[in-house]
Amino acid sequence: MRNDKGSLVRPMPLPHSASTPVVTPLSPSVVYASETPDALDAQYEGRVHGYTYSREGHPNADVVAARLDAMEGVAGGVVTGSGMAAVSAVLLGLTKAGDHVIGGNQLYGRSLRLIAEDLPRLGIATTLADPGDLDAIRAAIRPETRMILVEVVSNPTLAVADIAGLAALCKETGVLLVVDNTFTTPRGFRPFDHGADIVIHSITKLLAGHSDVMLGYVAARDPELAERLRIFSVTTGLTPSPFDCWLAERGMLTFDLRFERAQQTAALLADHLAGLKGVRRVIYPTRTDHPDRARAQELLRGQGCNMVSFELTGGRDAANAFARAADGLAFAPTLGDVGTTLSHPASSSHRALTADRRAELGLSEGFFRVSVGLEEPEALLAIFSDAVAAAADVS
């Protein structure tokens, strides 16, 4: 244990304390030492709980998983190094060549890419279809269809999936219903209560909430599938770092309050934007003019979400003027931060689409998606009034 200068090359044992910390300690250790081979046997055989190697599991990941398990009403969820790692664990870890996978046609861009480009390369056929159109989904199902991956509220056009219809169809056909609950969060919607088989989160967004950590989560109702997801994540190294988990837990302690405040302000902002000259349309799932309003109200239990999309009457010049004048708001392609962020799909998330496809989705040069944060509501509405006025001046 001592080197030739007599100093210790192992950390000193932690001092004994009769009291306990109120904050989860950070455990960056990659390996865990056991007392004897017999003690290690007991761990591997599940007779006692213990950690071995942090890719296989560590306390900071386990506390985040336990918190999300409780929020989603499930057991055995796995925390992953990013939201996309969770999506990958499901799409790659639970399929084989010859299977068929259906994806919602407005999924997050990287999920779409994984489905449209990577799965076919591995011999897994895929189809994209509108999760609000049950006939289209039914028509896409084949005998070899393994799963359907959908988001509850789509990005950035905030269309609402027919979760009840999808759950019934999946049950009837033996297809797994996989729900990416990132936008809605377990406070807005609990997919397992509505028949989902697997739930995915990008913890990076609202759950962690401070744009300083990338993390994901995946859980399955069936313990056998949950174990397969855990083993696949461990084998392929999708598992997370202790520090990211530590930061995420810290953020999640205030998640309920942040979500409540952000979605209330978002509803106010949607109504405010609708009354401004220079705004062509506003999209917010529970507004009276949203085509999926009834479904949104039922699924989101009367709550909304923190996302609002809107379209300026002008084109790219108006969008530039708006972003320049939106004082104090980050023009950044993310969501769920404590501060309000603006995303412009035509120049970011949807830039790779053809102009025709963007037009089909209604994503003009004047289209913005707003992730509402925790600013004082009146001050936030004033910033939007000024920025929309600046955009109207150049239209």
Q: Is 53 helix (H, G, I), strand (E, B) or coil?
A: strand
Going by C-beta distance under 8 Å and a sequence separation of 6 or more, which residues neighbour residue 337? 209, 210, 211, 330, 371, 373
Q: Is 82 one of the binding residues for ligand PLP (CB under 6 A)?
A: yes
Nearer to ligand PLP, 214 or 318 (CB): 214
Q: In this structure, what token pair is assigned to residue 146?
A: 């393994």
Interaxial angle between packed helices 83-93 and 223-236, expressed in degrees from 0 to 180 and rounded to the nearest 10: 110
| Active-site residue flag, 180 | yes
Q: Is 183 one of the binding residues for ligand PLP (CB under 6 A)?
A: yes
- Binding window for ligand PLP (CB under 6 A); candidates: 83-91, 97-105, 223-231, 372-380: 83-91
Q: Is 188 one of the binding residues for ligand PLP (CB under 6 A)?
A: no
Which among 161, 47, 30 has a CA at the least distance from the CA of 107? 161
The active-site residue out of 69, 108, 146, 230 is 108
Q: Is 83 one of the binding residues for ligand PLP (CB under 6 A)?
A: yes
H helices of the chain, in order, are 37-44, 59-72, 83-93, 109-113, 119-121, 134-140, 163-173, 185-188, 223-236, 242-252, 255-274, 293-299, 316-325, 355-361, 377-394
Q: Which residue is nearest to ligand PLP (CB)?
A: 83
Min CB(47)–ligand PLP separation in Å: 36
Min CB(207)–ligand PLP separation in Å: 10
Q: Is 84 one of the binding residues for ligand PLP (CB under 6 A)?
A: yes
- Binding window for ligand PLP (CB under 6 A); candidates: 175-183, 294-302, 310-318, 340-348: 175-183
- The number of C-alpha atoms within 13 Å of 114 and in the hemisphere containing its C-beta is 22
| Active-site residue flag, 55 | yes
Q: Is 179 helix (H, G, I), strand (E, B) or coil?
A: strand
Min CB(326)–ligand PLP separation in Å: 20
The residue from 54, 95, 184, 202 that contacts ligand PLP (CB under 6 A) is: 202
- Binding window for ligand PLP (CB under 6 A); candidates: 61-69, 81-89, 130-138, 159-167: 81-89
Task: Mark residue 98 as left, alpha or beta (left: phi above 0; alpha: psi -120 to 50; beta: remaining).
Answer: left
Q: Is 371 helix (H, G, I), strand (E, B) or coil?
A: strand
The set of catalytic residues is 55, 108, 180, 205
Which residues of this protein are in contact with ligand PLP, per CB under 6 A?
Answer: 82-84, 87, 108, 151, 155, 180, 182-183, 202, 204, 214, 216
